[in-house]
Structure 1
Amino acid sequence: MQGALTIEGSLAAHGQHVMLDLTGYTSPRPDEGEWMLDVLRQAVTRSTARQVHAHVEDFDGTQSPPGFAAVVLLDESHLSAHCYSDRGWLAIDCFTCGGTDAQGIVDDVLEALVAVMPDLVVQQHRAVSRFMHPLEG
C-alpha cells in the first residue's frame, strides 16, 4: 500500500475519516442536490483523490424528510453530503485511505458552502483514524 501511515500506540492507521454536522443550511438553488454534488466533485478534483462514481438522490418529503443525499465514490473511499433541508441540517463525511487528505477535502467543501451560506454553523467536527492495524515488525 502507498500513502501515509499514522502511528497510535501499538496500532497504525492507513486512513482518515472526517465528519461535519452543520446547521443553518439554506437551499442555494432549486436543484440543491445537483448543486451539492457539483461542490463535492470540485473539491475532489482539487485534491489528490480519484473519483470513480458520483450520484445524488433528492428526497421530496413523502418517504423521508425533504433534502438529498449526494456521494462521490473515490478510489480511496467516499465523500458524501446528507441534508434535511427543511430543518437546515447538513452532514458532510469524507473517508480516505493512504495519503489522501480527507481533512483538506472537507475544508474545501466547507469553504465553498460558507461562501454561499455565511450563516452555516459547524456543530460538530470529528476526525478519526481508520484502517487501524497492528504495527508490523
Structure 2
Amino acid sequence: MTVLSPFDIDRKPDISLGKHLIVEFQGAISLEDPNPVAQAIKVAAEKAGATVLDVKMHNFGEGQGVTGVALLAESHISIHTWPEHGYAAIDVFMCGDADTSLSIDHLRAFFKPQSESVVVLNRGCSIAHRPAPE
C-alpha cells in the first residue's frame, strides 16, 4: 500500500481534491479595519474563480486585530490579524478549478507584507487515489 501525505509539498499529485495554503504575512498593513479586510478576502476569492457564499468578520476593538472567514462553495478563506505585530495568519482552501495563487496575489497586494511564508497542502490526495467503494 502506498501512503500519500498531503504534507508532501514537493510531490505534484496527479489528483487532489483541493489546495490548502497556510499563509503568514509579516510586516503587513491594513490589519485593523474589518470592512476593507472583508472586501479583500471577498475579492481574493472572486479573483480565484471561487463562489462567495458569505463573509463574516469580528473586530476586537480599536487598535486591535480582526478575525474573519469567507465561506466559499469551494471551501473557505480565513484570516486572523495582529496589527501590533504587523502579522496576518491566512488560510486559503479551495477545491475544484479555483486558482489559489490568484487569491494570494490579491491578498499580497492588499496587505503589502514585508515578508511572507506560504505552505501548500494538497488535500484529499489519498482519497482521490483510493478506488471507490464497491
Question: Aligned runs of 1:1-137 on 2, under 5 Å?
Answer: 8=13, 12-27=15-30, 32-60=33-61, 66-114=64-112, 120-132=113-125, 133=127, 134-136=129-131
> Over aligned residues, Cα RMSD in angstroms?
2.5
d(CA) in 2 for partners of 1:99 and 1:45?
Answer: 12
Alignment identity in percent? Answer: 22
Greater helix content:
2
C-alpha displacement at 1:82, in angstroms?
Answer: 0.9
Deviations, residues 20-54 of structure 1 (Å, cap 9, x unaligned)? 111112347xx611111111112222331001111
As a proportion of its length, which structure holds more strand? 1
8 Å contact from structure 1 (residues 83, 91) kept in 2? yes
Maintained 8 Å contact 1:92/1:106? no
Pick closer, same or farther for the CA change 1:103–1:27 going to 2, 3 Å: closer
Stretches of structure 1 lacking an aligned partner (at least 5 in a row) = 1-5, 115-119
TM-score (norm 1): 0.75
TM-score with structure 2 setting the length: 0.76
Aligned residue pairs total 120
